[in-house]
Amino acid sequence: MSERCVTVQEAQNDIRMIVSKSRETEEATLLEAGGRILSENLRAGKSSPPFPRSPYDGYALRAADIQGANKKQPVCLKVVEKLCAGKYPKQVIGSGEAARIMTGAPIPNGADTVVKQEDTDYGEGIVQIYRSQNPYDHYCPQGEDFLAGEKLLTKGLRMDAIRIGIAASAGCDRIRVVKKVRVAVLTTGSELAKPGTKLRPGQIYDSSLYLISERIRELGGEVVRMNSVLDEPEILKGRLREAARCADLIVTTGGVSVGEKDLTRQVLSQMGADKVFDRVFVKPGSPTALFRLEETPVFALSGNPFAATVHMELLVRAAIARWYGCDELFPHEKRGFLLSNFGKSAVSDRYIRGTESGGRILLPNGKERSGILSSMNGCNCLVKIEQGRANLREGERVCYIKI
Ligand SMILES: Nc1nc2c(c(=O)[nH]1)N[C@H]1C(S)=C(S)[C@@H](COP(=O)(O)OP(=O)(O)OC[C@H]3O[C@@H](n4cnc5c(N)ncnc54)[C@H](O)[C@@H]3O)O[C@H]1N2
Ligand code: MOO
């Protein structure tokens, strides 16, 4: 069968076609909701604040009563009630009256403004007011934050601290979320050693297993299998079969190049997996392939940890975004400026590591080969160097994706 080499955009279109949006939802308490994806719109049951409230410690009164008041000619009002936060007013404020009020307490009917206590003599029975105010100055109306029935959060949004706070402010203690996508991560390579063990000659520590698994969790997935697999076809087959039984997506690394022990494609084909594409026209990680094993998408990433990271962000993340119907997770391109020069050109688009702040991107000095991971420390974006562009200088415009 002929080789299918796709651009990143074509690969992302393929992913949209083969990964279906999950319909499975569950309930999560607000304490469990961080990072989860809302599966239905969240509407306010009640207005917030539920009553007009005081933004200051002071006196609630009628603005008409204090017109022209100042320190030399104060207005005296009778204090008819004291209202702390949590109390509900019993009195209606009439002309010539005021209520002592604390921040957060309901403003009583009849009053239309609150004068800060610093602008009074702090009187208890009678208070002197030293300033004039307009109606609804220093006044938080009912529903100032949101009204009952208002849509506060749209389905497909990812819950973060602010959104959890918004849900809580609307009185929700549980929200409906999309069930977590279950992902199996298999790294392949007979040279891979488990961190914490002693390296034998020829071995290298398996960084990608931990890197990819943690990234899946950061993106809201559940890692259901984490296996490091020897370059042995039968072992790999067994692991892939198990993974297909329990996972919605499978991510493998290594074994996709042309070497004698590069078995991943071969094994997947022997298992009857359908090939979606063989290669991506991009550097690094051009040997990245996508298969479908019994309907489960299998992302076969290349072994070099940085190349695996690039395709984790461009492709696996696109799949997770699709699964959740969450556009915020999708690796959208943004535009920025380089703060460093970049010398290499490429026959295809190339992604390099960078650190972005305010649209300005610093590149680490050297150490950018796809097997090098340590210089990723502190990086927060992947910068796209378009095919044919060479000798990029500081100040040039580039596209990047945030990670
Ligand atoms: N003759 C050719 N050789 C290679 C080509 C080519 O076109 N012709 N392509 C190169 C490119 S580009 C890449 S990318 C790699 C992809 O190779 P594989 O995906 O088969 O990856 P491996 O050979 O298994 O590993 C590559 C490299 O990364 C190390 N590795 C692998 N897994 C891990 C891990 N989990 N943690 C840390 N390091 C890992 C591995 O030891 C190798 O050094 O092929 C090129 N070759
Ligand atoms: O595509 Mo590879 O990661 O450049 O060596």
Closest protein CA for atom 46 of ligand 1 = 257
pLDDT at 168 (0 to 100): 97
CA–CA distance, 331 with 353 (Å, rounded to integer): 15
CA–CA distance, 171 with 338 (Å, rounded to integer): 46
Q: pLDDT per residue over 359-369, tens digit each?
A: 999 999 888 89
Domain 334-402 has CATH 2.40.340.10: yes
Rounded to two decimals, the pTM is 0.93
Q: How far is the CA of 257 from the centre of ligand 2 (A)?
A: 9
Q: Write out the residue limits of the CATH 2.170.190.11 domain(s) in the chain.
A: 58-129
Residues with CB under 6 A from ligand 1: 187, 189, 191-192, 204, 206-209, 253-259, 262, 284-287, 302-305, 307, 370-371
At the second CATH level, the architecture of 5-24+179-329 is 3-Layer(aba) Sandwich (3.40)
Q: Which ligand 2 atom lies nearest to the CA of residue 370? A: 3
Q: How far is the CA of 185 from the centre of ligand 1 (A)?
A: 17
Q: Which ligand 1 atom lies nearest to the CA of residue 206? A: 36
3-class DSSP assignment, residue 224: strand
- Is the ipTM beyond the 0.90 threshold? yes
Residues with CB under 6 A from ligand 2: 283-286, 302, 304, 307, 370
Tell me which of 2.170.190.11, 2.40.10.10, 3.40.50.2300, 3.40.630.30 is the CATH number of domain 58-129.
Answer: 2.170.190.11
- Exposure string over 166-187, b if 16+ CB within 10 A, otherwise e: bbeebebeebbbbbbbbbbbbb
Amino acid at residue number 173: D
Q: pLDDT per residue over 127-159, tens digit each?
A: 999 999 999 999 999 999 999 999 999 999 999
Q: pLDDT per residue over 10-62, tens digit each?
A: 999 999 999 999 999 999 999 999 999 999 999 999 999 999 999 999 999 99
Is the distance from CB of 140 to CB of 111 less than 8 angstroms? no
Is the distance from CB of 138 to CB of 58 less than 8 angstroms? yes
Is the distance from CB of 309 to CB of 283 less than 8 angstroms? no
Q: Write out the residue limits of the CATH 2.40.340.10 domain(s) in the chain.
A: 334-402
- Exposure string over 79-95, b if 16+ CB within 10 A, otherwise e: bbbebeeeeebeeebee
pLDDT at 1 (0 to 100): 62
